[in-house]
Amino acid sequence: MPGQSTKRKNASLLSDSESKKPSKTKTKKKNKHSNVNTGENYSENLPSGSDRVPSNVNIPANGPSFPLSQQYFCSSSAPGMYPKPRMQHVSPFTQPQISQQRPPWVDELFKRMDKFQEKLNKIDQIESLVTTINAKVIRLEQGAISLDNRMEQVVRCSQLISDNYDKQKGDLTELKTEVNNISKSLRTNSNKVKNVGHEFRSSLSDMEKENDKLKESILDVQMKSMSKNLIFYNIHETEVENCPDVILNFCKDTMKLENSDQIHLSDAHGIGKKVNSYDVLFLCETWLQKDILINIEGFTVVTYVNRKKNIVQREEGGIAVFCKNNIFEGIAIEKEYDHGIVLIKFSKLYFNLNDDLYICFAYIPHEKSNFYRICDNDFHDDIENIFLEYKYKGTVIVCGDMNSRTGELNDFLETDNLEKYIGSVEPDVSPTISKRCSMDKVINAYGRKLIQLCYNTGLTIANGRLGNDSCGTYTFCTSRGQSVNDHLLVCPENYDIIKNFGVLDFTEFSDHAPLSYEISLNTNIQCNSLPSTHKYLKWDSSKKQDYIQLLSQHNELLISLVRNMTCANDVNNAEREINRILYDSAFFFFFFGKTILKRSSTYVKRHDNDWFNQNCVSARRDFNSVRNFYQRHPTDANRQHYISARNRYNRT
């Protein structure tokens, strides 16, 4: 009985131990409790050695385990029948039923197994990490290979740069050496140039002194020569005549001078042939008295304007207007000012014009003239008032000797283009005005007044802008210098009626060069036909490279003209622009062109005059040669040669 009871209890203990597994904390507490309760007080209730748990009983390692705190004793239905058991102390290894607690090594084993399980779990995590690391390592290897390739390229580029650097360094060294050599040469040449410059300045100073002396001598000779010059008017000219004999007869028969047979003439010329090709003549500084008139064959006097007052005894100033006989009826005098202004009207009915044409002709003395001591009139104000009065009656043109040096001042007011900023402002519609050029760069007080006159009236200067005078040719030349004093003023809207404007060659009769221009008139009047003219450019091989270099400056413009051609109109515009560039560039180097009379097919034999001997022929040839050379090369030295040749020709 006791043995069976004990076995059941042991079996129950096993089943309980298999069904429950206490936690580690409870196990530790029960171990402490069982250690306290292991004593002699429990030895009498311990079963016998035969009731112990057999050694072959296996306790599952993974099952629940917890210490048993309850002690088991044998019971009987008849208490007292058995003697009181004695307590016997036994060893824990031989007493499995005392505390029913797992041995420490089991707990230790469980702990190790738990740790091992945790490590196994970590191994799984490590495996995934290793897989990720392997992928990254593969990518790193690929990146390393790419970096190696790039490094090879960088090394090659670095080597190439290094080679180029070495080459450039060598070139720079050579260049530095050359620069040093050039610098040494420049320093040497600079010293030489300084010495030459000093010598040149000394020579130039001496030359200037000699030149001043020559100018004074030439001016003195010129004044003496001109002081003996006389102009005889109202003498009829014929094809065959001896000018000295005609003048001597005029002095004897008409003027009835005493001792006329003792008068000696060094030279004599007729002037009528110079003007046959023109329809209207405007003459300045006639120096005529009231009772003396000029008679030009084929022309009729329109008006004489002589000064009423003069500073000196002789007559000064004065203007005159002549016209061909066949157009005299269509010309009338509108206004005359005795100090030197006249307004001529060309009738629209007579000349079949849309409007009447008015030409204001004036001679303005130079700004330092003594004439202003006795004259209070302002010439520029008078001209402005005339223009403002007649501009609504027809077309007004102003011309004459104005002694106004304007340089290259702008003679018109540019529009402010307000329509770009204010929508309600109507844009100004005005013709295109080209830039004006002038050989004379000097500006005097009267020049500024003339520019102000242009601002107030809308007139513009034709010199250096219209016709053949594209450079602003000099109109006045003396031993003291040259300038542009004679002007033609036209409104921009009337540019189309002015044709062939130009400055003619200097002549032996005056220090002024005549202005020549044509006015387009719709008329059927029988007039003497004007000689046909043509313009030509004289090629100079020595200036070929200069011409090519000037054309090369327009390369970009020429290329853009060709590239921007998209239609027929663009082609026409490009052709006109290219022709303009070629033509203007040629004029710049090849004397700016000339207007030459075309020779008639009928040869007119020159009549021989007894007085025009070989000396006259030689003097005239020299004068023409020097004059033409001066016009091609207008330098101070050539101007002095020209004046000397002119005076020599007049004396001959």
Mean pLDDT across the stretch 214-239? Answer: 61
Averaged pLDDT score across all residues of the chain:
73
Select the more confidently predicted residue: 524 or 452: 452
DSSP class per residue in 94-155: G-TTSS----HHHHHHHHHHHHHHHHHHHHHHHHHHHHHHHHHHHHHHHHHHHHHHHHHHHH
Q: What pLDDT is attached to residue 610?
A: 60
Give the CA distances from residue 223 to residues 219, 220, 274, 481, in Å, rounded to whole numbers and listed in that order: 6, 5, 25, 15
For residue 144, give every residue at least 6 positions away whose Cβ sits within 8 Å of its Cβ, in sequence order, or none: none
CA distance 129 to 136: 10
Give the CA distances from residue 500 to residues 329, 467, 593, in Å, rounded to whole numbers and listed in that order: 25, 5, 12
**For residue 467, is it left (φ>0), alpha (ψ between -120 and 50) or beta?**
left
- State the pLDDT confidence band at 352, using cuts at 50, 70 and 90: confident
- Backbone phi and psi for residue 2, each to the nearest 5 degrees, phi listed first: -60, -40
The token duo for 643 is 């004046």
Q: What pLDDT is attached to residue 419?
A: 46
CA distance 18 to 60: 7
* Single-letter amino acid code for the residue at 145: I
**Window from 157-166, 306-315, 454-463 with minimum mean pLDDT:** 306-315
Task: Give the residue among 285, 455, 282, 286 at the shortest CA–CA distance from 366.
Answer: 285
For residue 516, give every residue at least 6 positions away whose Cβ sits within 8 Å of its Cβ, in sequence order, or none: 278, 500, 501, 502, 503, 504
Q: What pLDDT is attached to residue 343?
A: 93
* Single-letter amino acid code for the residue at 429: V
With a pLDDT cut of 90, the percent of the chain lying above it is 8
Q: What pLDDT is attached to residue 319?
A: 86
CA distance 85 to 90: 15
Query: What tens digit of pLDDT does each residue of 474-488 get?
Result: 888 887 888 898 999
Select the more confidently predicted residue: 288 or 38: 288
Q: Are 263 and 251 in contact (CB under 8 A)?
A: yes
**Window from 80-94, 306-320, 515-529 with minimum mean pLDDT:** 80-94
Q: What pLDDT is attached to residue 1?
A: 41
Give the CA distances from residue 239 to residues 253, 268, 300, in Å, rounded to whole numbers and listed in that order: 21, 15, 20
For residue 431, the SS3 value is coil
Query: What tens digit of pLDDT does each residue of 187-212 get?
Result: 887 777 777 777 777 777 778 778 76
The token duo for 560 is 């853009």
CA distance 368 to 193: 44
Task: Give the residue among 520, 523, 518 at the shortest CA–CA distance from 349.
Answer: 523
- State the pLDDT confidence band at 320, using cuts at 50, 70 and 90: confident
Asked whether the predicted pLDDT for residue 163 surpasses 70, the reply is: yes
How long, in residues, is the chain?
652
Mean pLDDT across the stretch 438-456? Answer: 90
Select the more confidently predicted residue: 501 or 621: 501
Q: What pLDDT is attached to residue 540?
A: 76
Our CA angle for 70, 24, 22, nearest 5°, is 45
Q: Are 652 and 267 in contact (CB under 8 A)?
A: yes
Ordered alpha helix ranges (H), 352-397: 379-390
Q: What pLDDT is attached to residue 536?
A: 58
* Single-letter amino acid code for the residue at 387: F
For residue 161, the SS3 value is helix
Give the CA distances from residue 161 to residues 154, 156, 158, in Å, rounded to whole numbers and listed in that order: 10, 9, 5
Most confident option among 80-84, 93-97, 233-237: 233-237
The token duo for 44 is 């009498």
User: Which residues on neighbouring strands pair with residue 146, listed in sequence order?
Assistant: none
Mean pLDDT across the stretch 332-357? Answer: 88
- State the pLDDT confidence band at 182, using cuts at 50, 70 and 90: confident
Asked whether the predicted pLDDT for residue 450 surpasses 80, the reply is: yes
**Window from 92-96, 143-147, 335-339, 638-642 with minimum mean pLDDT:** 92-96
User: Which residues on neighbouring strands pair with residue 490, listed in sequence order?
Assistant: 460
* Single-letter amino acid code for the residue at 520: S
Asked whether the predicted pLDDT for residue 614 surpasses 90, the reply is: no
Query: What tens digit of pLDDT does each residue of 240-265 get?
Result: 567 777 778 878 777 777 777 777 77
Burial class (CB in 10 A: 0-12, 13-18, 19+), 93: exposed
* Single-letter amino acid code for the residue at 259: N
* Single-letter amino acid code for the residue at 641: H
Q: What pLDDT is attached to residue 342?
A: 92
The token duo for 211 is 């030149």
Mean pLDDT across the stretch 51-69? Answer: 43
Strands 394-401 and 356-363: parallel
Asked whether the predicted pLDDT for residue 19 surpasses 60, the reply is: no
Q: Are 323 and 275 in contact (CB under 8 A)?
A: no
Q: What pLDDT is attached to residue 512?
A: 85
Rounded to the nearest 10 degrees, what angle do helices 544-552 and 568-589 cross at?
Answer: 140
CA distance 579 to 595: 19
- State the pLDDT confidence band at 428, using cuts at 50, 70 and 90: low
User: Which residues on neighbouring strands pair with residue 345, listed in sequence order?
Assistant: 332, 358
Q: Are 488 and 495 in contact (CB under 8 A)?
A: no
Asked whether the predicted pLDDT for residue 361 surpasses 90, the reply is: yes
- State the pLDDT confidence band at 17, using cuts at 50, 70 and 90: very low
CA distance 416 to 510: 44
- State the pLDDT confidence band at 398, using cuts at 50, 70 and 90: very high
